[in-house]
Each structure stands twice: as C-alpha cells, then as structure tokens.
Structure 1
Amino acid sequence: MKIKSNTLYIVLYFLMFFVHFGIWQWLKIGFEPTFIKYYLFLTLLFVTVVTILSIIKNIFPTYIGFAFMGLVMFKLMIMFLVMNKLHLSEVPNYKVHFIIPYLISLLLETLYAVKMIQNEYANKENLDPNTEDKKGV
C-alpha cells in the first residue's frame, strides 16, 4: 500500500505538533491556550497552502512554483499580522517555540511543492510525443 504524498505530509505535520506539545508539557512552560491557538492558526495556513497547491496543479500545472512562492509570501505576511494578536511574545523563549514549527511547516510545504513539480515534469516528459523521435535520432 502506497501512501499518497498529501497524507504523508499531513501526518508529518501532526507528528511535529504532538512531539512539540509533549516537549512543551515536559518543560512545564505553561501558556497552553497560546500554544493551541498558534497551532490552530499554523494548521489552517498549512492546510490552505496544500489545498491551493493541489487546486493549482489541476488548473494550471505549469504555475505550481509561482503559486508556491506567492503562498509563502502570503503566509509570512499573515504570520506577522497575527503574532501580536496571539500574544506570542509573552511566552518564555517564544522565538524557539514558534519559529521552529513555522519553519518545519514551511519545509513540509516546500517538499510537497517540489514533489508536485517533479511529478508534473515527469508526466510532461512521458506524454510528449516528440521525445521518442528525438531520442531515436
């Protein structure tokens, strides 16, 4: 049984959440409502990026990279706007606890986008009728 890449990246994201929450509880930092609100917001952004990339792949498959770059800029802008509303700076060592999950989710989104671009490129190579003629010459 092969796991779809969507499922794999979502499972890895939630595995990151549970590991981070376990470390958070072990260190007895407190501020659990802030932690949960942050992860709800980060999860919403992660799922939005993955969903929009999947839609772009079906509609405009050659523009996946451009869509990804735009979504990353949008996500960064939204994070700066929401950081103050979530009161992240009140948490001790908030930079470590909130930047690392953001970067890991960005890494997962990047790997997902790269995989989609590679699959699109491979599909384009297999469907191009002129590739056989060029290889045979």
Structure 2
Amino acid sequence: MTGKAPLIAEHVVQVRATPAAVWDVLTRAANIREWDDVPESFTADTLAAGSVLEWEGYAVLKVVEFDVPRSLRMAYHSPRWERPVDGIEYAYLLSPAASGCELTLRVGDWALAPDGNARDYFDASVDFVADAAAKIKEMSERR
C-alpha cells in the first residue's frame, strides 16, 4: 500500500438497453474500436478471459475477470515501469436497472503508479471514462 489517497476515475451511466446489448459493445473488437483504441496486434473478434491487449512499449491490458454480462476487468501494466503493479485496472460493471441497466466504468488506482505520473494518468482517465460511457451508452441504445 502506498499510503496515498486512491486515484480512481469513475463514471456511472444509465443505459436503456439490455445487459447483453451493452456486453456486446464492451467485448466485440469491432464495437470497441468505436469507443476506444484496439491494438492492431489484437486479431480476435471478441475479448475473452485471458485476452491481452498490448500497445507495444506503452501499455498492456489483460482480461482478469470476464463475468458475462456483469463484469469485465482488465489489469493494467506499463512496460516502462521496472516491475508490475497490482491494483491498477480498467473495470466495466453492469447491474440491472428499471429501464435497462447501469454501467459503471472505473479506471485506476493510479496512486499506485511508480513513475510519478499518477495525477496525469488519473486526469486522462477522468476524461476517458466520461467519453467512453457516453459512446457505449449511445451504441448500446441503438441496438
């Protein structure tokens, strides 16, 4: 533990679509490309437990939880760091709601980043979760 306050970006959005429709937007590579970047080296059609997205020399995301259609968690690692850091993740959580579902996006805990750039990572993540949530919502509701 770092003793620092957690730096976790979170955004919650209500989606008027089934969890299955949102899950498709979250896990099908063609859909992900509409709301986020997918490395060219990732050639599978969909994410699955154990999938790895690697932006060579920059970042690695590994799917560590794949609970259809409830939670998708990906552990983050930067190859520029001397050692792997546990506790930094991209999480997409779905729960039923009266008119569809609730989607929560969480990215961090950047306080664990060992390179002194925690605040920069956090600030970028705040923008990312808001933008991604809006795009995922819009895509899911079109289905």
Q: TM-score with structure 1 length normalisation? A: 0.39
Larger C-alpha radius of gyration, 1 or 2? Answer: 1
TM-score, normalising length: structure 2: 0.38
| Higher-strand-fraction structure | 2
